[in-house]
A and B are shown apart, each in its own frame.
Chain A
Amino acid sequence: MLDLAIDGLEVRFRGLSEPALAIPSLRLAAGERVAVTGPSGSGKTTLINILTGLDRTPTGRVVWKNTDLTALSEGARDRWRARNIGLVMQDFHLFAGLSALDNVLLPQRLSRFRLADAVREEALRLLSRVGIVRPRQPVETMSRGQMQRVAVARALVAKPGLLVADEPTASLDAESGGAVADLLLELTREAGSTLIVASHDARMTDRLDRVLRLESGRLV
């Protein structure tokens, strides 16, 4: 499992006088379940991009266990992310034209030469676990709630140590949002993964161990 140490982090965007994100110090323990909340524009997505190595910043250190993300090249961060992180995004990013199963397997197929049978079995298990009864159904024919559940299965299929979700329920109605929130909590508990969720959704944030509140890029 991964634990996290952030020191002296500062993210600035061109055209903004204040940093979009400024975190002098932050520690997370492995297996912790953390919510990141705050008003729109407070820097939640910016933080997640930094934590997952999707973006990097010239100032500060972001160290997961023994890996300093700020010191890695882009390719190395891609590889690290593929090994360690499962990602769930607000608008799913499923790929039309592929079945639910193929979508779950796509990242594995793209980053590995051969797909192990165990991965395929795990994908089918996760799909049925998230309540998708027809794994061969093309994703573009699914409801939004089903789509996000496929995305959850995709995020977990490689058994990542860290699951990161950015507004996973924001584009869903209350019922499917609740189902996705339940699944995220249950499945990370089963897998023992660290969970970081950026969300306004109280149903989600209230059920997590720890809440980080951002305002104008600062933790409060």
Chain B
Amino acid sequence: MFRFIAADLRRHWLGVAAIMLLIALATALGVAVTLQERALRLGSARAAAAFDLVIGAAGSETQLVLSSVFLQPAPLPLLPGEVLARLRADPRVAWAAPVGFGDFVGGYPIVGTTREAVEGLGRLAEGSGFSHLGDAIVGADVNRDIGETFHPFHGTVETAGDVHEEVEYEVVGRMAPTGTPWDRAILVPIQAVWEVHAHRDHDDAPATPVNASGPVAAQVKAAHEEAGHEDHDHAEGAAHDEHDHHGHLAEEVDDAALMSADNPGVPAIMVKPKSIADAYNLRQEYRRGNTVAVFPGEVLTRLYGTLGDARRILSAVAYGAQGLVAAAILLVVSIHVLQRQRQIGALRALGAPRAVVFGIVWTEAFAILAVGVLIGFGIGYAGVSVLSERLGSESGVNLPVEFQRSDLWTMGGFFAVTAIVTLLPALLAYRQSPARALRS
């Protein structure tokens, strides 16, 4: 029986291949919608996992998450400096680290933060943490080696500004991969960012472009007059020991300076609460007045709730396409069976039992469609992998393309539908009279 089926498939290989391809593409469409949506959802959820609680100035919660977790540049309103100081002193807070943007280099955003953020996001793969203001830690995907130095450019990756010639950072460490956009970020001490923008305002204030970091610079200018100079003088003696830093960034990082309420503002603060209860308390407390506190996971869930409708539409389109392809192919197979009724009659006339004829037609049709479905899952997976790879390297978000248990059910469902649908041509063959064999 299988020899006969194999010979028949070989003889009609072109048509068989065409049908398989159609089925495969229709299946791939549906698989791709599911896998891609899942990759986006899981990828962004995993990217947000390290961020328990994010606090920003009152404004769009979604934008706050996009800017802090996904490092999307946007003009965020600033939190007053005292919020950071208050959070760092709060007993419910394990650590609180600012997220300050403003500069970039070579397409990588420079993020001002503190050493806690490095540990909170992952760990150092090599090198050491910040000790001087001019130290930088690069994300896993940043194309800079330890020991390299660079001048930051003002502005964001999209709105290229001019170079801070007088400022030079040195790469001292590299993060282990986190699968988040932070893999493409360069982390520097937030104090350095404040310094850079304060000095920039001193030196060439008229040329400062109005953009996202404008307010930072303005605030730094004010703050620098009082607190900044003190730090400067205080750290002077300890500088120039092991690193050969230039300019204003030779000082050691002094975390105590973060406790000053007079520090410049920051756009966002990531907070690691000590317990879940603390997390909810803090969120409650900082959702009042001119601050907003969000669980990024929650914001993403809400976002996906909205996008879910789009996915449902896409799925419906994919199912529609699958249904049409299935119907068209069923028609082709049935016509094929009817055209071959003499051959089928001959099999019966030669002594093949009806059940065997039924089995041959069913097995043949099912094999073609089932292989098409399997190939479709493969094509869908491969397509989404390529797309996610590309999207991932652009955004830095690691998009995991993975099958889940529920996909087995989907595949099982496809096979079940295929098995049922192919009963039709098999029944057509079953019902055919063997007497046809002798008539032309």
Contact = CB atoms under 8 A, between A and B. Distances in A.
Given A55-B433, A93-B346, A98-B4, A45 B438 contact: yes
B440 interface: yes
Nearest to B342: A93
Contacts of A154: 350
Given A54-B438, A109-B3, A111-B356, 16 more contacts: A49-B435, A52-B349, A54-B434, A78-B353, A78-B354, A78-B434, A79-B353, A93-B350, A97-B7, A98-B4, A102-B7, A107-B347, A107-B350, A107-B351, A110-B350, A110-B353
Contacts of B346: 89, 93
Interface in B324-381: 342-343, 345-356, 360
Interface in B182-209: none
Contact of A111 (B7, B8, B352, B433): B352
B438 A106 contact: no
A58 interface: no
Interface residues of A, number: 32
B343 A82 contact: no
A29 interface: no
Interface residues of B, number: 29
Interface in B382-440: 433-435, 437-440
A15 interface: no
B8 A97 contact: yes
A80 to B, nearest CB: 10
Contact of B435 (A55, A75, A91): A55
B354 A110 contact: no
A93 B354 CA distance: 17
B229 interface: no
B349 A96 contact: no
B437 to A, nearest CB: 6
Given A82-B351, A96-B11, A97-B11, A110 B1 contact: yes
Interface string A63-104: 000000000001100110111010101110101111000100
A48 interface: yes
Contacts of A48: 438
Interface of B: 1, 3-4, 7-8, 10-11, 342-343, 345-356, 360, 433-435, 437-440
Given A78-B354, A95-B4, A110 B437 contact: no
Interface string A36-68: 000000000100110010110000000000000
A158 B350 CA distance: 11
Contact of A110 (B345, B356, B433): B356
A54 B347 CA distance: 11
A40 B397 CA distance: 79
A90 B346 CA distance: 12
Contacts of A75: 353-355
A166 interface: yes
A207 to B, nearest CB: 22
B439 A45 contact: yes
A49 B439 CA distance: 10
Contacts of A79: 353
Contacts of B433: 54-55
Nearest to A56: B435
